[in-house]
C-alpha cells in the first residue's frame, strides 16, 4: 500500500447514506416544528398512493417563513444524502411543494391548507408520530436520574 500523499488525495469520501423515507419525513416534520410551522401532519401513504410513500403537511405563518423553512429542509436533506427532485410554489408561497420522490412535503398558508384539505383526501392514510419524545422531569432519555 502506497503512502504517497498524491494517492491519499485521490481517495473519495463516501457519500452519506440517505435516510429511510420514514426517517426523512419525521426529520422534515421536526424541522418545520422547530421553525414555527403549525398543524404538522405526517401521513403514511404506502399501499395507498402509487406516487409517494409519505406526505409531510404543515401550515406556515408567513410567505417568508415558509420559503425559509423550505430552503432549510432542502439544504439539510441534501447534506444527509437525499437531494430534492422538484420544488414548486416558491414564487407564490401559498403552497410550497418539495418532492423527494418517496416523501412529498407541503407547506401551506392557512387559506390553502383549509381549501385543499389533504388530510381529508388521504383519510385512509395512517398518521406517523414525528414529535421528539418528551423527557420526564428528573430523568434522562434512559430513565436514569439526571440530578434535577
Task: Divide the 148 residues of the chain into consecutive groups of 10 and give the mean pLDDT of each group.
Answer: 56 71 96 96 96 97 94 95 94 92 97 95 94 70 51
In angstroms and rounded to an integer, the radius of gyration of the C-alpha atoms of the chain is 19
pLDDT value, residue 128: 96
Q: Which candidate, 128, 24, 6, places its Cα nearest to that of 73?
A: 24
Angle at 73 between CA 49 and CA 46, to 5 degrees: 15
Q: Is the distance from CB of 123 to CB of 44 less than 8 angstroms?
A: no
Residue 75 pairs in a beta bridge with: none
Q: Is residue 77 within 8 Å of 66, Cβ to Cβ?
A: no
**pTM of this prediction exceeds 0.85:** no
pLDDT for 17 equals 75
Q: 90 near 70, Cβ under 8 Å?
A: yes
pLDDT score of 31: 96
Q: What is the pLDDT of residue 8?
A: 54
Q: Give the pLDDT of residue 148.
A: 44
Question: Cell numbers 491519499 label which residue?
Answer: 8
**CATH classification for the domain delimited by 21-127, as one of 3.30.365.10, 3.40.50.300, 3.30.460.10, 3.90.550.10:** 3.30.460.10
DSSP state of 39: E
Cα separation, 66 vs 130, in Å, equals 19
Whether 130 and 84 have beta carbons less than 8 Å apart is answered as no
Amino acid at each position: 500500500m502506497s503512502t504517497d500523499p498524491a494517492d491519499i488525495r485521490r481517495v473519495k469520501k463516501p457519500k452519506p447514506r440517505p435516510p429511510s423515507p420514514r426517517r426523512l419525513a419525521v426529520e422534515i416534520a421536526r424541522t418545520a416544528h422547530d421553525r414555527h410551522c403549525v398543524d404538522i401532519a405526517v401521513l403514511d401513504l404506502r399501499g395507498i398512493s402509487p406516487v409517494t410513500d409519505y406526505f409531510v403537511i404543515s401550515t406556515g405563518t408567513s410567505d417568508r417563513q415558509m420559503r425559509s423553512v423550505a430552503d432549510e429542509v432542502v439544504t439539510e436533506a441534501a447534506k444527509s444524502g437525499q437531494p430534492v427532485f422538484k420544488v414548486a410554489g416558491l414564487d407564490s408561497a401559498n403552497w410550497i411543494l418539495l418532492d423527494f420522490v418517496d416523501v412529498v412535503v407541503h407547506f401551506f398558508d392557512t387559506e390553502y391548507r383549509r381549501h385543499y384539505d389533504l388530510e381529508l383526501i388521504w383519510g385512509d392514510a395512517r398518521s406517523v408520530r414525528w414529535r421528539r419524545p418528551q423527557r420526564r422531569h428528573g430523568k434522562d432519555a434512559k430513565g436514569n436520574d439526571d440530578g434535577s
